[in-house]
Chain A
Amino acid sequence: MEWKLSRREFLRSTGSFLISLPLMNSLGGRSTEANPDEMYGFLVDISRCIGCGDCQAACKIKNDLPVSSDLPYERNERSYWDNYSTLSAYTWTRIRSKSLVKDGKEIVRFIKEQCMHCIDPACASVCFVGALYKTPEGPVIYRADRCVGCRYCVYACPWGVPKWQWDKPFPFIQKCNMCYDRIIEGRRPACVDACKVGALTFGKRKELIEEAKKRISRGGYVNYIYGEEEAGGTCVLYISDVPFDELEFRKVMKFSYPELTQAYLGKMPIVIPSLFVGLLGLYLYSRRRQEKEVRE
């Protein structure tokens, strides 16, 4: 059976590939186009936190998380104030303590840890079923009914926030969702409600940045808002009276991580048709050359 690919057929098949290109435009797109200024978040004022752990308890109660089935309760010399040694599937927020020296005096600072709720989250961008999802309101939520359990989000998150239920045969990911159910009801997250010293302030991201700048200008703070630019900006922001380096905050990139994959996936609409045209052309060329050889 001889099959000759005519010029017209070649152009037609190439053309149909080019027409399908606009369909691929969604590759590498952001998961939400909502305005970051209008997203909800909260500001953590490290200078005000006394490390009472009420936010942590409120989180456990609100999300019905077990207290005992966690990682070992570590009380060692290095971190006397630490309770849960890390975030885990059953501890979505925790207070970490850090002893350091400021003006010749030994002091302790307490750092609340939880999901940072990135404006453009790496976890949601890598999720291939949309289980992790950036809501237009701000919180990054987890839709367990979609999750396949590839654990790519655990790999991708710059802060290592998503955790798995390692004790279950078919585990789900667990992480802070900023009490999304309360936010859509117009209420504040449980941890913010529980804070009695005003270390946590809930609001829209733009207002939080204004508030942070106001407090910094009044003095006593390091002139830096952690989360304003980290990972392209997060909805949870931190201000502190001691440098963030000394508090062992993770140094992350100051651009949104999904851009890195977008730069790669965005080339597909060029790569795929070029491969197609190149392979077809190469095939036709080597066939014609062979036919010529046979004739000679």
Chain B
Amino acid sequence: MSVSKSFMIWTSALILVIAFGAYGAFLRLTMGFKVTALNDYYPWGLWIAYDVLTGIALAAGSFSLAFGVYIINKKKFEPLLRPTLLTCLLAYLTTALGLIIDINQPARFWHPMFPLFFQPHSVLFEVYWCISLYIIIQLIEFSPIVAEKLRWKWFYTTMESEKVMIPLVIVGIIVPTLHQSSLGGLFLIAPDKVHPLWYSPILPILFYISALAAAPAMIIIESNISSRVLNRGLELDLLSSLGRAMRYILLVYIAIRLLDLIARGAIFSSGDTRALFFFVEILAGFVAPLILLLSERFVRSGKVLLLASILVVFGVIMNRFDVLLTAWLYPPPGAIYFPTWVEISVTGMLVALEALAFTLAVKYLPIFPEIKREHA
């Protein structure tokens, strides 16, 4: 396999970012949290907001697509399955790595799995178990791709048979459904410390639906990137179908979010800069893409579809940051959290690791069907 010059530059740049983040992680593990901006008022910062909340929310594509292809039998989406599965698996793996750096006792990451320590009344317990289980499920779902490469015919056909795939897919939908919503459930415990513009008893439902909206958006963005980099065609037909699905999800999300705000009377509880964050999040991140997608002409246009998707991803990222940090009322006025370079470098490392692993996997594994055909 030939290695082009641009490939060399790209991977070297990623390795540099990873090395820099590794140094940041080393500082955290030797000096403690002094090197971060976290303190007693801000127990959770960038690492939880981005690596965990955002990372998981943007990795809802795999199970949404599995639902489409296997459960409601929309076989036309099959070509999108493998790249989506790969990005979601990588997102979960880097989330796990990020959490190990973030927790105070990295060597004890397995404690919640130890039966004597079980605490089923904790939402975090559910999140931990579901994320761990889902990583295993995704690894199993990914195994046929490796088997195909290694030409393990028996293993490949067994795994791809309905008898194995359908139960796996069903469990592989239930588990992420639970933890996508439970990530919102984490905040239920702090009704008086999370601003009413974001705190709601239905936060789990809002987290789930917004993750579902991010799923087609991420697939559209990733398809655009891979089509450009790998010089393959863009599946515009499929992406337009995804755009239509995204339209309905956004409609449901905005309706529920507004009804909830009105029902709780929180829509008028603004009065400070937090309201500005709220309106930017809602208008730019959810309402604007919905308006774009309402027009059937726009849904068929690749460029508008991409723009709408970028807006939705922006909205979901901003929503997760807002719920965790903007809405956080506990610190005294003036105590504002802004991540240090160490925190940013570690997050950068995780993103770069994901990108590097994706680049290598696309090069050496049968991820894109038409590229696979070229080498056959």
**Cβ-defined contact, B192 with A167, below 8 A:** no
Are B72's CB and A286's CB within 8 A?
Answer: yes
Any B CB within 8 A of the CB of A29: yes
Contact residue among A31, A263, A283 (Cβ-Cβ distance under 8 Å from B71): A283
With A149-B108, A257-B189, A264-B188 as known contacts, state yes or no: A275 contacts B119, CB within 8 Å.
Answer: no
Stretch at the interface among A55-63, A151-159, A182-190, A199-207: A151-159
Contacts of A80 in B (CB 8 A): none
Known: A126-B123, A275-B173, A279-B173. A149 touches B104 (CB 8 A): yes
Q: Which residues of A contact B34 (CB under 8 A)?
A: 166-167
Complex partner residue of B201 from A125, A148, A253, A260, CB under 8 angstroms: A260
Residues of B within 8 A of A148 (CB): 103-105, 108-109, 111-112
B12 at the interface (CB under 8 A from A): no
Stretch from B158-166, B254-262, B294-302 contacting the other chain: B158-166
B205's nearest neighbour on chain A, judged by CB, is A264
Q: Are A128 and B177 in contact (CB-based, < 8 A)? A: no
CA distance A151 to B189 in the complex (A): 14
Residues B188 and A261 in contact, CB atoms below 8 Å apart: yes
**Contact mask for chain B residues 301-314; partner A; CB cutoff 8 A; 1 contact, 0 none:** 00000000000000
Shortest Cβ distance from A50 into chain B, in angstroms?
27
Check if B355 is an interface residue, CB within 8 A of chain A.
Answer: no
B330 within 8 Å of A by Cβ? yes
Q: Which residue of B lies closest to A150 (CB)?
A: B103
Q: Which B9-54 residues have C-beta < 8 A from chain A?
A: 28-34, 38-41, 43-44
Are B121's CB and A171's CB within 8 A? no
A263 CA / B189 CA spacing, docked (Å):
11
In the complex, the chain A residue whose C-beta lies closest to that of B27 is: A169
Please, what's the 1-or-0 string for B96-121, where 1 marks a CB less than 8 Å from any CB in chain A?
00000001111011011010011111
A87 to B117, CA, bound (A): 28
**Chain B 163-175 near chain A by CB (<8 Å), digits 1 or 0:** 1001000100110
Do the beta carbons of A171 and B32 come within 8 Å of each other?
Answer: yes
Which residue of B29, B67, B173, B189 is within 8 Å of A260 (Cβ)?
B189
Q: Is B178 part of the contact surface with A, judged by Cβ < 8 Å?
A: yes
Interface contact A151-B32, CB-CB below 8 Å: no
Number of interface residues of B (CB under 8 A): 59
State whether B117 touches A129 (Cβ < 8 A).
Answer: yes
Q: B117 touching A26 by the CB < 8 A rule?
A: no
Mark A264-296 against chain B: 1 for CB-CB distance below 8 A, else 0.
110010011001100110110011011000000
B73 within 8 A of A: yes
B117 CB → nearest A CB, Å: 4
Q: Is the CB of B43 within 8 A of A26?
A: no
Are A279 and B174 neighbours in the complex by a CB distance under 8 Å? Answer: yes
Tell me whether A268 and B108 are in contact (CB under 8 A). Answer: no
Q: Residue on A with the closest CB to B177? A: A275
8 Å CB interface, A245-263 against B: 251-253, 257-258, 260-263
Our pick among A30, A166, A258 for the contact of B33 (Cβ within 8 Å) is A166
Name which residue of chain B comes closest to A262, CB basis.
B121
Task: Report the Cα distance A289→B74, complex, angstroms.
Answer: 12
A164 within 8 A of B: yes
A127 within 8 A of B: yes
Question: By the criterion CB–CB under 8 Å, are B121 and A155 in contact?
Answer: no
Chain A residues within 8 Å of chain B by Cβ, number? 65
Which residues of B lie under 8 Å from residue A3 when comparing CB positions? 161-163, 166
Interface residues in B177-201 by Cβ distance below 8 A to A read 177-178, 185-186, 188-193, 201
Return the CB mask of A136-177 against B: 1 if under 8 Å, else 0.
000000000011111110111010100111111111100000
Query: Whole-angstrom distance from the CB of A230 to the nearest CB of chain B?
Result: 11
CB < 8 Å neighbour of A170 from B104, B118, B119, B122: B104
B125 within 8 A of A: yes
Nearest residue (CB) in B for A2 is: B162
Contacts of A114 in B (CB 8 A): none
The CA of A3 and the CA of B166, in the complex, are separated in Å by 10
3 nearest CB pairs, A to B? A149-B104, A154-B43, A151-B43
Q: 27 A-B residue contacts at CB 8 Å?
A: A3-B163, A26-B120, A88-B40, A129-B111, A148-B103, A148-B104, A148-B111, A150-B104, A164-B104, A166-B33, A166-B34, A172-B104, A252-B192, A253-B191, A258-B189, A261-B189, A264-B201, A265-B123, A268-B178, A271-B178, A272-B178, A275-B177, A276-B174, A279-B170, A283-B70, A283-B72, A286-B72
A interface residues with partner B (beta carbon < 8 Å): 1-3, 24, 26-31, 86, 88, 122, 125-130, 146-152, 154-156, 158, 160, 163-172, 251-253, 257-258, 260-265, 268, 271-272, 275-276, 279-280, 282-283, 286-287, 289-290
Task: Show the binding face of B for A, using Cβ within 8 Å.
Answer: 28-34, 38-41, 43-44, 67, 70-73, 103-106, 108-109, 111-112, 114, 117-126, 128, 157, 161-163, 166, 170, 173-174, 177-178, 185-186, 188-193, 201, 204, 330
Q: A1-B157, A24-B120, A167-B34 are in contact. List 18 more A-B contacts (CB 8 A).
A: A126-B122, A126-B123, A146-B111, A147-B105, A149-B104, A150-B103, A151-B44, A152-B124, A164-B104, A166-B32, A258-B121, A260-B189, A265-B123, A265-B185, A275-B177, A276-B174, A282-B72, A287-B73
